[in-house]
A and B are shown apart, each in its own frame.
Chain A
Amino acid sequence: MEKVKKKIGSFSFWNWVTASIIFRLILIYFPKNLNLSSRPEVSTPLTSFRRLAEGYWLKQSFMSPYAGSMYHGSPLLLSLLGPLTINRIEGQPNHLLYSLVSVIADVVSAMLIRATGQNLRLAYLRSLESLDLVKQIEVSGDIAALIYLCNPFTIVACVGLSTSPIENMAVILCLYGACSRLIPLAAFGWVIATHLSLYSAILIIPVIFLLGCGPDSPPRKLFLQRHQQKEVLNQSKLPPRFSWGPVIHFAFWAFLWSVYVLVLCGISLKQFGGLWEMFKSTYGFILTVEDLSPNIGVLWYFFAEVFEFFRNFFLIVFHVNILFMILPLAIRLRHRPCYLAFVYVAICSMLKSYPSVGDSALYLGLLGWFVNELADMQFSLFLFCGYVGVSLLSPVMHNLWIWRGTGNANFYFATAMVYACLQIVLVVEGVSAMLNHDRKLRNLITGKPQDAKS
C-alpha cells in the first residue's frame, strides 16, 4: 500500500483528482449503475438508496417514513436527498442528480482531508523541529486525499448511491473543524455525523483532545526531556497544555447544533410519530441488529444463528466491545488525537452492526494522513493483498450463495470473517506502529546508540 501511495504522490495531485471524478462520471453513465446500488457491500439497511426512496415515497403519501421497517436514516436526509430520488432529467441516467451530490460530497471530503493533512504535517514538522530532529516527510494530506478519492471502495460507495459519502463527509468535517480550530464547524460535523450514524459519537474524545491540546505531536514528556537535556526550558516550543476553553466552547456549540438538528427533525416528523419514533427506528435499529440481510460484517450471520435466549447478551457484548477499547486507546494515544480518531473510525467500521465499504473507505483515507508515522508498519503488503483478495472473493461468494444457489451462507460468512480479521490486524498493527514510532522518537532524543541508526 505504501508503494502505491508513493507512486500516486509523485504525480500531479490535481490530475488525479480530475481523473477520479471523470471515472466516477463514466461509471454513473453505465446503465442501472452497474447494479451497485443493490450490492450488499454498498447498501446496508441504513445507507441503501432504495430504502431512502421508499422513505421519501411514504412521506410523500402522508405516512411516517418509519412506518414499516424500510427506512432507518435521518429525516433530514429525507428532506434533502429525497426529492433527488424521483427527479429525473430527460435523456440522462435516472439518478444523475443524486449521484452528482455523492460525487461532490466525495470531492469535498477529499479536499477537507487534504487540508487537515497539511495541518497535521505542519504540526508534525513543528514538533520535529522543536525536538531538533530533521526529517524529510511526505505530503501526507495529498496522499490521504488521493487514497480517499481513488479508493475503489469510495468509488463504489459513491456510484452505488449509498448515503455513506454524506456520512463520511460529516465525520471529516468534524475532524477538519477540530484541526483548524473552527469550533462551530467541528461541533456541526460531530452532531451531524452522530445523527447520521450513532457510532460517530465516540469521536467526541479525539475532538476534545484536538481542541484541548492541538493536533498530533509526540508525547509531551519527550519535549520536557529534550529541554531538560538542553537545560533551557523554552516554554514557547512546548506543546500547549490541555486547555478547557475550546472544549467548553465546543460543548456549547455541540449542544446548540444538536438542539437545532432535533428541532428540525421534530418539525419534519411533527405529523407522524415524532422524535421518539425516529430514535427507535434509527438508533434502536442500529443497536438491536434487527435486519439480518448479509453485509460485509459478521453480526448478521451471528444473530441469524444465535439462540434467541442469548441474543440480548451478545448484543450487549458486541456493543460494549467498542466501548471497552475507548478508554485504553484514549490513554495511550491522547497526544495523537487524529490518529485516535482514525483508530476509533476503524474499530467502529469493523464492529458496527451494518458495515459497508463506505466506512472502510473513510478509515483507509484517513490512514493516508499517517504515512510518515506508519512507515514502519508491519504486514502492510499482507494487508493490501488481503483487502484486494477479500473484495474480489466476497462478491463471488455472494453470487454463489444468493444468485446461483450453489454455495451456502458459510462461504460468504467466511469472507466476512477474513475481512474482519484483516481490519483487526490493521488496527492492531497500526496502533503498535504508532506507539513504536513514538518510542523511536524518544530513543532518538535520549540518544540510545543502538536505536540511532533507525
Chain B
Amino acid sequence: MVLLQRPHILLLLIGTHQFLQCWIAFGSVNEEGQKQEEFSEELLLKPLPDHKLLAHFHFQSSGPPSTSNGCHHHLFPKAISQLVQKFRIKEMELSFTKGRWNYESWGGFDPLSSSNAKPPGVELWAVFDVPQHHIDASWKNLTHTLSGLFCASINFLESTATYSTPEWSFPPASGNVRYGTLPCEAVCTENLTPWLKLLPCRDKAGIALLLDRPSLYRGFYHSQQLHLTSTGSSSEGIDSGIILEQTLTVVLQPNSEMAIEVHASEKHIQPSWSLSSIFGKQVSGRCVLAKPSSVYLLLDRGLSAANGLTSENFWSNPSFELSANPDRIFLEESSSHSKSLSILYMFQVEKYCESEPFDIGLMWKVPVAWLCQQTPLHASRFLMGSGNERAAIAISLKSTQFTEGFMSANSKDGSCELRVDVFQVVPWYVKVYFHSLRVFVDQQPRAVSDIIEKIHVSPSKDKMSPGVMEVVLKLPCRVNTAALTIEFDKGFLRIDEYLPDANQGFDIPSAIISFPNFHASMVFLEDDSLNKSPLLSKFQEKCPVMSYTEVLLVPLTTPDFSMPYNVITITCTVFALYFGSLLNVLQRRVAEEERFLKAKAAKKTGRLPLLLSKLSAKLRGSGINQN
C-alpha cells in the first residue's frame, strides 16, 4: 500500500509544485502589469459663488522603479525622473501662481482649495532623502535645474538668504524639508510651455487641448503646480517609483452673454457657460495614452443645498441644465458636520471623438446664491506704521461663519481650543524684533505665554539667512478676532542689492496659517471606478486646512543710485583733509615760520605788503604772534 501510494503522492507533489510555480509566475506578471507607467488626465469644473468658474486640470503620470526598465520611459518624462534620481527627492512641490486665491468667496476648507490655493509667485518646497549636510547642496542644484527646466528665476532661491528650513509648522514637516518662495516672480506662458512638455500628449490632444493661453491668463487666479512624490525609500537600495502630479487651477469669469439673452432682467443669475465659451476650444477626444480621461463637474455642499439637491433627488436638477448627460453621478459620503452633500457629475472623454467633440455647458435657470466652506479663521496680514525706518507686521485672524457652526456643534464643554499654526518667513532686510511679539484676542492685549503654546524662531542673519517664525496659537473657540503683531526695522541695503525697480519695494512672502485639527477631505461614495481616478482619490486624502496670507510689499529707503562716485570722492576728501591737516599741525615748526616772516617783513616796507603779510599770518593761524 505504501509503495503503491508513493507515486501518487509524488505526482501530487509535482502537480502542486507546478501549480504553485504557475501561480507565482502569474502573480509576478500581474505585479509587473501593475507597475506599468500610467498617465491620467482629468478636469474638474466647479462653479464659484461670485459668478466665476474654477477649472482644475489634473494630470498624473506615474513611473515605476527604474530598475525594471532601465532608464527608459514610455510615458513618464525623463527629465523629471533624472531629477528625482539625481537629487534624491522624496517629495517636491513647485507652484507658479498669478493672482490671489479669494478665501472668502472661493472657499478654503475643501481639498481643492487647501492644496491648490498658493501664494503669488513661485513657491518651492522639497524633501530630500540625503544626509543633513548634503541637503543644502542638493537644494541649490535642484533650484538651478528647475530654473532651467521651467524658464523661471527659481535659481534665486539658491542663496541661503532666500530659503528656510521649517521645523514643524509647515505641513509636510520633517527635518529635511526646504522651503522657498519668490513672491515677485512673474508667471506667464513661458512657464506653461515647459510644463506642458512633460505631458505625453502635450497640448495637442486630450483635455490639455483646452489650455488656450489667452483665456487662461485672462483669469483671476492661475496656479500651475508640479508635485512629485517618490514612493519608497531609495536610500535602502530599492529604487522607487515616482508619481508626478501636474495640476493647473484657474479661476475664470465665464462670458455671461448667454445668461443675458435668457434672463436679461435678472441680474443676480449665475452666468451660464460651456467649455467652448470659456476656453474657446472643445475636447476632441482623449489623449490616447491617458487611461482615465474624464471631466467632472463639482457642485459643492453650499450649492447643492441652495439647489435643494439631496441624496434622493439629485438626478432632477431644478435650477440648472447640463448640455451633456453625465456618465456617472457621485454623492459625497455624509460627514459629521454638514447636512448637505457635494455632488460630482462625471463625463468620460473616451466616448467622444474628432467628429463629435466633447463640450459641456451649464445653463442656470434661476438665480442661486450660496457660500463656500470657509477656513475656521480667515487670515489676513497687513503692515502697520509709516515711514521708512520701522514698521510692524500684523496677522489678523477673524472667525468665519463656519467656525461658529462648527464650534457650537463640537464644544460640549466650555473649554474648547482652536489650534492655529503660523509659519512666517521674512527676508533678512526686514529686521524683526521677536521680543516685540504681541497677541491680541478680541482686541484685548493678552500675555504672550497664555495664547502661544509653542514658538520657534530662527532670527535672520544679514545676507545669510531669512528670519523664520513658527508659532502655535491656542485660541479659545469663541474667539471673534485674534491678531499677532511684531515690530521690525527696515534694513538698509547696498546699492547693488536693490532690485532694478528699487522704489517699488520688497515683498515679504506669504505667511502660512494652518489649522492642524481640521482636515479637508471629500469622500465620495465608494465605487470601483473611483479608485482608478487619481483626482478623486486625492480628494479622499486627509489634507490639512491651510491658507496663505497676502504678500506684503515693504517699501525700503533707497540711497541715491547716481551718487557712488560723488560719495566716494567727497568722503575721501574729508578723510584726506583730516589726515593732512592734523599731520601738518603736528609737524609744524612755528618758530622758523616766524623768523621767515620777520625777515620778509624787514625786506619789504610799505603799508600794503605789511597788511598782506599780517593777513596771511592771521590766516595761517599762528595765534601767538597776533596776540
Contact = CB atoms under 8 A, between A and B. Distances in A.
Contacts, number: 168
27 contacts: A54-B433, A54-B435, A57-B434, A58-B434, A67-B458, A68-B461, A69-B459, A69-B460, A293-B491, A293-B492, A301-B571, A304-B494, A304-B559, A305-B563, A307-B496, A318-B575, A328-B582, A328-B586, A350-B578, A403-B387, A409-B558, A410-B560, A428-B581, A428-B582, A432-B585, A432-B621, A454-B627
B623 interface: yes
Contact of B462 (A291, A301, A443): A291
B467 interface: yes
A162 B136 CA distance: 39
Given A291-B492, A328-B583, A421-B577, 17 more contacts: A50-B489, A53-B433, A69-B464, A300-B492, A301-B567, A302-B567, A304-B492, A305-B559, A307-B496, A328-B582, A403-B386, A424-B578, A432-B588, A435-B585, A435-B586, A436-B623, A450-B625
Contact of B624 (A38, A307, A440): A440
B321 interface: no
A292 B557 contact: no
B457 interface: yes
Contact of B570 (A57, A293, A417): A417
Given A54-B433, A436-B623, A439-B590, A428 B585 contact: yes
Interface of A: 38, 40, 50, 53-54, 56-58, 61, 63, 67-70, 290-294, 298, 300-308, 317-318, 321, 324-325, 328-329, 331-332, 350, 376, 378, 401-403, 405, 408-410, 413, 417, 420-421, 424, 427-429, 431-433, 435-436, 439-440, 443, 450-451, 453-454
Given A67-B458, A325-B579, A408-B560, A424 B574 contact: yes
B428 interface: yes
B431 A69 contact: yes
A63 B461 CA distance: 14
A305 B585 contact: no
Given A325-B579, A403-B387, A410-B560, A436 B571 contact: no
Tell me whether chain A's interface is mostly helix, strand or loop, or mixed.
helix
Given A290-B462, A376-B623, A431-B586, A68 B574 contact: no
Interface in B369-413: 386-390
Interface in B488-505: 489, 491-496
Contact of B389 (A54, A290, A378, A402): A402
Interface string B602-627: 00000000000000000001111101
Given A305-B559, A307-B564, A428-B582, A321 B575 contact: yes
Given A53-B435, A431-B586, A306 B564 contact: yes
Given A54-B435, A424-B577, A68 B492 contact: no
A290 B428 CA distance: 13
A38 B390 contact: yes
Interface of B: 386-390, 428, 431, 433-436, 455, 457-464, 467, 489, 491-496, 557-560, 563-564, 567-568, 570-571, 574-575, 577-579, 581-583, 585-588, 590-591, 621-625, 627
A57 B449 CA distance: 13
Contacts of B624: 376, 436, 439-440, 443, 451, 454
B163 to A, nearest CB: 16
Contacts of A443: 624
A408 B464 CA distance: 28
B393 to A, nearest CB: 16
Contacts of A53: 433, 435
Contact of A50 (B388, B433, B570): B433
Contacts of A290: 462-463
A429 B586 CA distance: 11
Contact of B574 (A38, A69, A421): A421
A50 to B, nearest CB: 6
Nearest to A299: B571
Contact of B571 (A298, A307, A328): A298
Contacts of A325: 579, 582-583
A63 B469 CA distance: 14
B568 A420 contact: no
A50 B582 CA distance: 38
A262 B467 CA distance: 30
A63 B460 CA distance: 13
Contacts of B577: 421, 424
A49 to B, nearest CB: 11
Contact of B459 (A68, A378, A405): A68
A304 B462 contact: no
A366 B591 CA distance: 30
A366 to B, nearest CB: 18
A328 B463 CA distance: 39
A27 B624 CA distance: 45
Contacts of A67: 458-459, 461
B623 A378 contact: yes
Contacts of B431: 69-70
A382 B115 CA distance: 69
Task: Tell me which of B389, B571, B581, B587 has the highest count of chain A C-beta atoms within 10 A of its own C-beta.
Answer: B571
Contacts of B434: 54, 57-58
Contacts of B436: 50
B557 A401 contact: yes
Contacts of A431: 582, 585-586
Contacts of A453: 627
Nearest to B574: A420
Contacts of B570: 417
B205 to A, nearest CB: 52
A302 B571 contact: yes
Contacts of B435: 53-54, 56-57
B462 A63 contact: no
A304 B561 CA distance: 10
Contacts of A307: 496, 564
Contacts of A410: 560, 563
Contact of B579 (A38, A301, A321, A435): A321
Contacts of B578: 321, 350, 420, 424, 427-428
Nearest to B456: A61
A229 B34 CA distance: 116
Contacts of A301: 559, 567, 571
Contacts of A440: 624
Nearest to A404: B387
A69 B559 CA distance: 22
Most chain B CB atoms below 10 A, which of A54, A56, A291: A54
A420 B575 CA distance: 9
Contacts of A324: 579
A402 B557 contact: yes
Contacts of B579: 321, 324-325
